[in-house]
Amino acid sequence: MSSSSSSVPKQPLSGWGRYPLVDSYLQRPEKVSSLTKIIQTAENKPVLARGAGRSYGDAAICPSCTIITERLNRMLAFDEESGILACETGVTIKEIVEIFSPRGWFLAVTPGTKFVTVGGAIAFDVHGKNHYRDGSFSRHVCNLKLMLASGEVVQCSSQENSDLFWATVGGMGLTGIIMEVEIALRPIQTAYIKAKSIKAKNLDETLALFEEYEPQYQYSVAWIDCLASGQSLGRSRLSFGSHAAIADLNQEQQAAPLKLKPKPSCKVPFDFPAGLLNRYTMSCFNAFYYHRQRSWQVQSVVDYDSFFYPLDFLRDWNRLYGKRGFIQYQCVFPTEVSREALVRVLQLCAQKGWGTFLAVLKRLGSQEGWLSFPTPGFTLALDMPIKPGLERFLVQLDRLVIEYGGRVYLAKDARLSPEAFRSMYPHFLRWLEVKSQIDPYNRFSSAMSKRLQIESAKERIKV
């Protein structure tokens, strides 16, 4: 794969977890016509779109030609009546919320960081803290335009070319390049969230509180101290919230209910030494976080940034895990077995000391995309630094996830096996049929798709 039009050397590329690092040729078109040209002249070289590189593993890397979409970020139309925004897919969540929240509109679904692109949000069909109610990102996509391997652009939606649509949302960039989308924003009265924070002593209490408060709030999430064990196994801080009405705000906030003052952010200036985030520092941090909130319940009105994107205040926080990087292991368990499965995962973590910072627990509902991650149940995300023994531990977790009929989120993955992937994603074959039709020669390919052996049937016959 050494032939490239320019003399520029390959550059090492990774995801947010900084593992793995793969040398890749980069392109960064600033015009639609340049993108078409790249696709049409790259002959048979594999290509792939890359958004903000906020997926954790190897999903957004293609060694022969990774196409960065950041400069294709034009907003093309906005309907003030319906709140429908047409834009190119390099537009970020940050741009959308910053431009439209002062005008009374917000995204219906947002992930936990605003530094991702619309393209990335669709290609992994991302979920927010309201999946249970509102579905994932694709549910609010009215239609999208996809550039196929031929350079031809096809429009699709849940109504039109729907097979292509359900293969593309959650399709990890492997069906083509999503060029433009129309997404429906949701009206808000204020830029604030009426939030309730509750502490739970253990897992049963945590799950019971989800049941109790979910009907009253739009958003819910829990941070579990996964290093706590015994009686405290699964102790957590739950956070619920709903978009605040004007009446919920204090006087100062009411003066400009949709405007937020810019807040300073800080940056991790260098790579931390690898061993710094270890079991002891982590459990201290987790205990501190858990006990910091003194009373069992706190009610407050917070701005949307603090509620949805708490980590964005610390830029480059992935450097805390050192040069070797880290893995975020996010899995979901079906509702019926959630409790049992979570107990086993948390026990394993506490025993082996593998869970690190607070683990995030969210509720998911059902989702239509064929490779979309969400399925009804509870999802847990654990951050773990790369070090010897990790893979053995994760394989154990994989087995447990498969045993309970769950799955691992590929947006966070860097090491799952092809077999494990196939047992977790039952609609894969259906997806593969569409892929084989529109991209028989696997022009769209990534380090992840190679690893998981996600390839068109025709190609496999040919080899």
Partner 1 sequence: MKEAVLVVGATSSIARSLASKMGQQGTALHLAARDRFEVERIAKDIAIRYQVPVSWSIFDALDRDSHADLLQKALDHLDRLDGVAVFLGELGNQEKAQREFDCAEQIIHSNYTGVASILTHAANYLEKQRHGFIICLSSVAGDRGRQSNYVYGAAKGALSLFLQGLRNRLAKSNVRVLTVKPGFVDTKMTFGKSGMFLMAKPEQVASAVIRALQKNKLVVYVPWFWFWIMLIIRSIPEFLFKRLSL
Ligand X SMILES: Cc1cc2nc3c(=O)[nH]c(=O)nc-3n(C[C@H](O)[C@H](O)[C@H](O)COP(=O)(O)OP(=O)(O)OC[C@H]3O[C@@H](n4cnc5c(N)ncnc54)[C@H](O)[C@@H]3O)c2cc1C
Tokens of 374: 């969400």
* Residue 311 binds: one of partner 1, ligand X, none (C-beta under 5 to 8 A by kind): ligand X
Write phi, then psi, for 304 (nearest 5 degrees).
Answer: -65, -30
Q: What share of the chain is helix, strand, coil (3-state, %, to 5)?
A: 35, 25, 40
Residue nearest to ligand X as judged by C-beta position:
120
Burial 401-410 (b: 16+ CB within 10 A, else e): bbebbbbbbb
DSSP assignment letter at 49 = E
Q: What part of residues 433-452 is at the interface with partner 1 (CB under 8 A)?
A: none
Q: Can you tell me which of 13, 22, 47, 48 binds ligand X, judged by CB under 6 A? A: 48
31 lies in the binding site for partner 1 (CB under 8 A): yes
* Residue 99 binds: one of ligand X, partner 1, none (C-beta under 5 to 8 A by kind): partner 1
* Residue 54 binds: one of partner 1, ligand X, none (C-beta under 5 to 8 A by kind): ligand X
Q: Can you tell me which of 38, 169, 411, 452 binds ligand X, judged by CB under 6 A? A: 411
* Residue 411 binds: one of partner 1, ligand X, none (C-beta under 5 to 8 A by kind): ligand X
Q: What part of residues 110-139 is at the interface with ligand X (CB under 6 A)?
A: 111-113, 116-117, 119-121, 123-124, 126-128
Tokens of 365: 């509902």
- Cα 109 from Cα 185, distance rounded (Å): 9
- Cα 41 from Cα 51, distance rounded (Å): 21
Q: What part of residues 79-138 is at the interface with partner 1 (CB under 8 A)?
A: 88, 95, 99
CA 119 → CA 69, 70, 173, 254, 412, distances in Å?
A: 8, 10, 9, 35, 16
CA angle 270, 271, 277 (to 5 degrees): 125
DSSP letter string, 262-279: ----EE--SPPPGGGS-H
372 lies in the binding site for ligand X (CB under 6 A): no
Taking contact as CB under 8 A, which single stretch among the options 75-83, 133-141, 198-206, 248-256 is the one that binds partner 1?
A: 75-83
Q: Can you tell me which of 89, 101, 190, 456 binds ligand X, judged by CB under 6 A? A: 89
Strands (E), 69-227: 75-79, 84-88, 105-107, 141-147, 153-156, 177-187, 192-200, 219-224
10 lies in the binding site for partner 1 (CB under 8 A): no
Tokens of 196: 């309730």
Give the binding-site size for ligand X (rule: CB under 6 A).
Answer: 34
- Cα 375 from Cα 362, distance rounded (Å): 12
Query: Can you tell me which residue has the tokens 């049937």?
Result: 457
6 lies in the binding site for partner 1 (CB under 8 A): yes
Provide the residue count of the chain.
463
Q: Can you tell me which of 28, 37, 315, 339 binds partner 1, judged by CB under 8 A? A: 28
Q: What part of residues 414-453 is at the interface with ligand X (CB under 6 A)?
A: 446
Q: Can you tell me which of 12, 23, 41, 76 binds partner 1, judged by CB under 8 A? A: 76
379 lies in the binding site for ligand X (CB under 6 A): no
Q: Can you tell me which of 35, 52, 394, 416 binds ligand X, judged by CB under 6 A? A: 52
Q: Which residues contact ligand X (rule: CB under 6 A)?
A: 15-16, 48-55, 59-60, 69, 89, 111-113, 116-117, 119-121, 123-124, 126-128, 172-173, 177-178, 311, 411, 446
Q: Which residues contact partner 1 (rule: CB under 8 A)?
A: 6-8, 26-34, 71, 74-78, 88, 95, 99
